[in-house]
Structure 1
Amino acid sequence: MKVRILLYFIALLLLESGCFSLRYDFKGGVSIDPKIKTFSVQYFDNKATLVEPLFSQTFTEELKQFIENNTNLRLVNGRGDVDFSGFVQTYRITPQAITSGETASKTRFTIGVKVKYSNNINPDDEFDQTFSQFREFESSTSFNTLESELSKEIREEIIEQVFNAAFVNW
């Protein structure tokens, strides 16, 4: 009986020690080195040909909020342990599905954001890449009536992609 109890405690200790590695998971699959305590997000300037005036500011602020809401990291001014910077690279509408009358039956709205992720604790985790999403809509519908809604959907998806690239290790 004593041997069984001893084996039980040894197994429990082994299992528990395996749970405390160099990285920890919380909030649904997020994996962040415990040495990382702070983050920063620089302003994402809009360098796209077509410029929507509020997109850069909204993207920057929503990225900060998303990271704050989904991690235990503290937002700092300047440069944090991890830092996000970049610019809006693409914000365009293009015709799609050209019909026999040489008119487009669909239009594609694309947003692309170039993101540089710097990690002062684990430089091997850094990346510099473009995240892009699009939505198609009927060409008969005015882009002006859909722009706000589509822009919000795409922005949210890109923010999630950036977050996953930085903090979710599959």
Structure 2
Amino acid sequence: MKHLKYLLILLIAATFSGCGFYNFTGSTGQIDAKTFQVNFFHNNADLIEPGIDRDFTLALQDLIQNQTNLNLVSNGGDLIYEGEIVDYRITPMTATADQQAAQNRLTIRINVRFTNKKKETDDFEKPFEFYYDFEGRDLPTGSVLNSAIKTIYERITQDIFNESLAKW
């Protein structure tokens, strides 16, 4: 039994020492960049929800700062994230027998332009989209809206991070 304990410790140590540059976020750690900037993402959607542009810009900055050792700068960054919110919509998903919405869906789509000044082949422009379903009797305000936007932004910012830095 004593040997099993030492074998297990050795196995765990070997596993983590073999990770090389990999970290738990999926980033390879082989990025030449030292700085990044996130330009303000304007809300160009037909339906305007005040403040979501600022909230998204801050959410993307926070995610990159938390998952990398890159320094946030206001201009001249090695990595540049910019774009706009192009769609914010609420659609009924299911109906009750009396033609009322039983479930609604909030969808947000954000067009992102990523520029890597150190490696231009990594540049891209593409939309990222996610949704949040909520009860038809609930209004997309207050805590329902806050929860929806938080969930949507967590998914979209992680997708942007994976596309630009994780290289899965």
TM range (shorter): 0.7 to 0.9
Deviation at 1:85, TM superposition (A): 0.1
- Of 109, 112, 115, the residue aligned with 1:115 is 112
Contact 1:27 1:71 in 2 (8 A): no
**Residue deviations 1:115-149, cap 9 Å, x none?**
10011111111111111111112211222241111
Shift of 1:43: 0.4
Determine which of 27, 40, 45 is the counterpart of 1:30: 27
Does residue 161 of structure 1 match 2:153? no
Find out whether 1:67 has 2:64 as its counterpart. Answer: yes
Normalised by the length of structure 1, the TM-score is 0.80
- Backbone CA RMSD of aligned residues: 1.9
Paired residues of 1:87 and 1:114 also in contact (CA < 8 A)? yes
The question of 1:86 aligning with 2:83 is answered: yes
5+ unaligned residues in a row in structure 1: which ranges?
1-18
Give a deviation string over 1:87-135, Cα, whole Å, max 9, x none: 1111110111244544322111101111100111111111111111111
Q: Secondary structure at the match of 2:83?
A: strand
SS at match of 2:22: strand
Q: Deviations over 1:50-94 (max 9, x none)?
A: 212111111111211211111111111213111000011111101
Other structure's SS at 1:31 match:
coil
Query: What is the match of residue 125 of structure 2?
Result: 128
Displacement after TM superposition at 1:150 (Å): 0.7
Match of 1:152 in 2: 150
Paired positions, count:
149
Residue 101 of structure 2 contacts residue 137 of structure 2 at CA under 8 Å; is this kept in 1?
no
SS in 2 for 1:143: coil
Deviation, structure 1 residue 34:
3.9
Alignment pair present for 1:51 and 2:35:
no
Distance 1:144 1:163 in 2: 28
In the alignment, structure 2 segments of 5+ residues that lack a partner are 1-19
3-state SS in 2 of match to 1:52: coil
AA at the equivalent of 2:65: E
- 2: CA distance, partners of 1:34 / 1:129: 21
Question: Which whole-Å CA distance do the structure 1 matches of 2:122 and 2:39 have between them?
Answer: 18
1:136 is paired with a residue whose SS is strand
State how far apart, in whole Å, the 2-side matches of 1:98 and 1:51 are: 25
**TM-score, normalising length: structure 2:** 0.80
SS in 2 for 1:36: coil
